[in-house]
Chain A
Amino acid sequence: MSKEPVAVIGIGQTKHTSARRDVSIAGLVREAAVRALEDAGMGWQDIDAVVIGKAPDFFEGVMMPELYLADALGAVGKPMLRVHTAGSVGGSTALVAANLVAARVHRTVLTLAFEKQSESNAMWGLSLPIPFQQPLLAGAGGFFAPHIRAYMRRTGAPDGIGSLVAYKDRRNALKNPYAHLHEPDITLEKVQASPMLWDPIRYSETCPSSDGACAMVLADAACASRAPHPAAWVHGGAMRSEPTLFAGKDFVSPQAGRDCAADVYRQAGITDPRREIDCVEMYVPFSWYEPMWLENLGFAAEGEGWKLTESGVTELDGDLPVNPSGGVLSTNPIGASGMLRFAEAALQVRGRAGEHQVPGARRALGHAYGGGAQFFSMWLVGSDRPGA
């Protein structure tokens, strides 16, 4: 049984910032959706269904916000699905939307993810109350810092790798008009001198807390042929999950992440990701996750990821640019962060990434993860229609 090819024909996002006090939640999501529709050359009436995702409802204090947002997203009279898979949700949401097209249930789907983190305090939204969690696990940084130390111990990576990643991503963000953090006077020394938050994670090696939304219009082949701009084609997509905590779990390189990447590469016919993929948007909320995920995703052998980073391979002008958009380290509306990775990968292969365009990018990987490094979603998009 053959699936319908799925095309990304419209992408829209908001200018991310720490607090969008000028718009409601509905106003925020509508801004991204309108831009995606404009890019696709479509109006609200051209959309068959809406798939929306975000991270916990507690971040905005609205239970099942899809109910309230139905009007703002032109969903009245249409199917509307709400996905929530923790930090990976932006990616999962796009994959659920893509499956609706692939299964030929709908021909056009608007998919959107958002977070308006200024409505709450994400750090404490992510912290369970004591005694359910030990006090040092405050926020996501407290959870992930020990696993970064395990990575350093296991691979012998020198202390400065994380700072290199942060310095690179913040410079890339300067080329992305939608990125939250624009630090024109950023230097490596400033990153290295920033305060230690959760050893070894420094202040400048952490993601910001952003308000923002990202939207995409996904379509079948016939609709894609009428789109005004080039499409990105979905060559492979997968989700994998494993439990939060169990004896033997490898937090440094979770099996779910390796399996998910392998599934995507199989679908896309990729046998050597390091050679065959032109750029990667990966979910790096703390700088050290770049070398860790380079290994987990098969771009480097075990223990070798930090060497790619150190040698400049992952720079914007390197051989395998990682996070040309500035990544999660520069922009982090949590629920939207995964979709931003998926959307940036699509922008690259459409040749529409502006100043942070990787020249000649034809195949790009979008990656997201969430929970206790337990939920993974990825897609591989290309400028050519699959099989063409």
Chain B
Amino acid sequence: MPARDVAIVAFAQTRHVRDSSADSEVELLMPVLHDVLDQVGLKTGEIGFTCSGSSDYLAGRAFSFTMALDGVGAWPPISESHVEMDGAWALYEAWVKLLTGEADTALVYAYGKSSPGEVRDVLTRQLDPYYVASLWPDSVALAALQAQALIDAGETDEDALAAIAGRSRRDGARNPYAQLTGEHAQGDYVVRPLRRADCPPVGDGAAAVVLAAGDTARRICARPAWIRGMDHRIEAHSLGVRDLTDSPSTRLAAGNAGAFDAPVDTAELHAPFSSQEVVLRKACRLADDVVVNPSGGPLAANPVMAAGLIRLGEAAMRIQRGESERALAHATSGPCLQQNLVAVLEGER
């Protein structure tokens, strides 16, 4: 168990939209950073450590995160780092920094704009550059392979997937930040067996979180969402050596995060495709009565690079509002859930 209590004390996100071309990444981020710092009454210079997550490939230019740093207002100079991963991993790095005792507070942010390019094509550049990327298998096609494997294994069927998609969109209707809200037809096949509604919306967005340790957290937040455990694990890259109907890395991360020590009442799962919720529910051993993705989840809004951090933020807000006592938050990276992070959050006991 970690030697120090660390909590999520504030969370903010943009209203996620299909196309934010009127705003730069910095303009997307600035209101979110101000929002999250205002919530805890801190200024940039009072934050002990700052860490962000983003991707040059989405921005289409090298060192894209350097401009975002300007938006933070990093003067006088700040203690700062960046992961070229979803912001959930930036939160992990910040959590570790707080565990060392070198900082008492941390600002974590992430942003991604998919609108300038074709995100399905862009994500193919994640694949083995010698043997796979040259074939340009896109992210929906790979997810469809996984969905078909699940159906073939008898783990789900198209009706069950449609039910997941429908529930997510209905829940998204109550989330003012979600991109897709309300009822949506299941739609035509995009890549069989996945229909339009089984796939996430393509969109732009940003999110930010403030972490604080111990008494600092209690001072600046009425009900901190304590991080009881957090772990992340990666699997082999090649889909051919993985059982796509299972997620051993999620199960391992969940176990190490303490998810199986006591039941959770809420789970925010970073499952961009309805079929992936089936895999993650099993790996996280979620009971039927666990509230899954009450925010609408990635099927209602999936800003690449921020969507994982948003799962942690949404779970924390459920705890802050008293709607949850113990929540599981999950983030993923890579094709077909290759890399997974799980955090367990709790209210004060």
Contact = CB atoms under 8 A, between A and B. Distances in A.
Interface of A: 1-3, 24-25, 55-64, 66-71, 75-86, 92, 95-96, 99-100, 102-105, 125-126, 128, 238-246, 254-256, 259-260, 263, 371-372, 374-375
Contact of B78 (A1, A64, A240): A240
Interface in B1-49: 2-4
Interface residues of B, number: 61
Given A62-B129, A105-B96, A125-B62, A81 B89 contact: yes
B80 interface: yes
B330 interface: no
Interface string B72-94: 00111111111111000100110
B77 A242 contact: yes
A80 B65 CA distance: 21
Contacts of B81: 83, 85, 92, 95-96, 239
21 contacts: A55-B62, A56-B63, A57-B55, A58-B57, A67-B237, A67-B334, A67-B335, A79-B232, A79-B234, A81-B232, A96-B93, A99-B93, A103-B96, A105-B2, A240-B78, A240-B79, A241-B50, A241-B77, A241-B78, A255-B77, A260-B77
Contacts of A96: 81, 93, 96
B79 A61 contact: no
Given A3-B102, A63-B123, A84-B65, 4 more contacts: A86-B63, A103-B2, A105-B96, A239-B80
B84 A84 contact: yes
Contact of A128 (B50, B61, B334): B61
A276 B133 CA distance: 51
Contacts of B61: 58, 128
Given A64-B55, A246-B75, A56 B333 contact: no
A81 B56 CA distance: 17
Given A77-B249, A239-B79, A243-B69, A64 B234 contact: no
A78 B234 contact: yes
A61 B129 contact: yes
B334 A64 contact: yes
Contact of B237 (A70, A81, A255, A371): A70
Contacts of A62: 125-126, 129, 133
B76 A58 contact: no
Nearest to A70: B234
Contact of A67 (B78, B233, B333): B333
A59 B62 CA distance: 9
Nearest to B230: A105
B62 A56 contact: yes
A68 B126 contact: yes
Nearest to A374: B66
B77 A259 contact: yes
Given A56-B56, A238-B79, A78 B126 contact: no
B251 to A, nearest CB: 11
Contact of A68 (B63, B76, B128, B249): B128
The residue among B55, B70, B84, B133 with the most chain A CB atoms within 10 A of its own CB is B84
B216 to A, nearest CB: 13
Interface string B250-286: 0010000000000000000000000000000000000
B77 A1 contact: no
Nearest to A96: B93
A259 B84 contact: no
A368 B69 CA distance: 18
B252 A77 contact: yes
B109 to A, nearest CB: 13
A105 B338 CA distance: 22
A137 to B, nearest CB: 13
B33 to A, nearest CB: 14
Nearest to B60: A58
B100 A99 contact: yes
A100 B3 contact: no
A238 B81 CA distance: 10
Top 8 A-B pairs ranked by shortest CB distance? Answer: A56-B62, A256-B77, A103-B99, A241-B80, A84-B84, A63-B125, A63-B57, A242-B77
